[in-house]
Amino acid sequence: MKHIYVNLKRFDIPREYGGVNSIAPMKQWGNYIVTETQEQLKKYGKEDVEFAMYFPEAHIPGAVSALSENSPVKIGCQGVFREDTASGGNFGAFTTNRTANTAKAMGCTTTIIGHCEERKDKAGILAEAGVTDTKAVNRILNQEIKKAVEAGLSVLYCIGETSEEQPQWKEVLKEQITIGLEGIDRSGITIAYEPVWAIGPGKIPPDKDYITMVGTYIKEIAQGCDVVYGGGLKADNAQMLASIPVIDGGLIALTRFQGDIGFYPQEYLEIVKLYLGS
């Protein structure tokens, strides 16, 4: 199976507030994106391709309500808390935190965990407490993944090395996989490889050979998990990524990187078409 994921980050913020959203008002944004894409995605078989969109929490209800009958779109949240509600236990005292059961109750079926931005945030908080152990971040992510799986959510688990870590990329990725997925049923886990060292303006992305090498290594360590390219599936690399046998899809963020940058549903559909070849 192929997987096409979209991390919509905070692309909902209007341009007048410093954001990149010019496609729909905030209140209709999540609903609009699903409505503008799901019918055209129906031509791809559900058994052949998984389409998942990870929304900021405020837009999940609108996105879920837009789902049509037999929609191929899965609605996901951007991470879950490391603890959750339980009968006879904590009934919901999780101020500011979105639990996996919250996401499930809202209509989510999937979540993204371990994105490089989340890893950086957790590492920064730990550093304020004097903790520099990289394994600590992976242990926290492991707790989040466990709660997501317990709630019945599938997980897109992001891993990747920074420029400082690149000389030891094998050790870094192995640690992220073995600790992050320890004790977890991997049948509902897909891994997204983020070459953090290559993400950002002016950076040179990895080529086909490098992605093939890393993807092959991840599959050896991850014991059968599908692997997608998380460094950004876009129009100019879609066909190249589609030609790599060990890569099972990609993670889309922005669809336009010049001019009025942002996420545009029709451009998203074009990327899908380029990747899937139809």
Please list the active-site residues: 115, 194
Where in 221-269 does DSSP place strands (E)? 226-229, 249-252
CA distances from 99 to 122, 150, 180 (A): 17, 11, 18
Count of CB atoms within 10 A of residue 151's CB?
19
Distance CA 278, CA 262 (A): 24
Distance CA 41, CA 72 (A): 7
Q: Indicate left, alpha or beta for 151 from its phi (over 0: left) and psi (-120 to 50: alpha).
A: alpha
Residue holding tokens 């014991």? 223
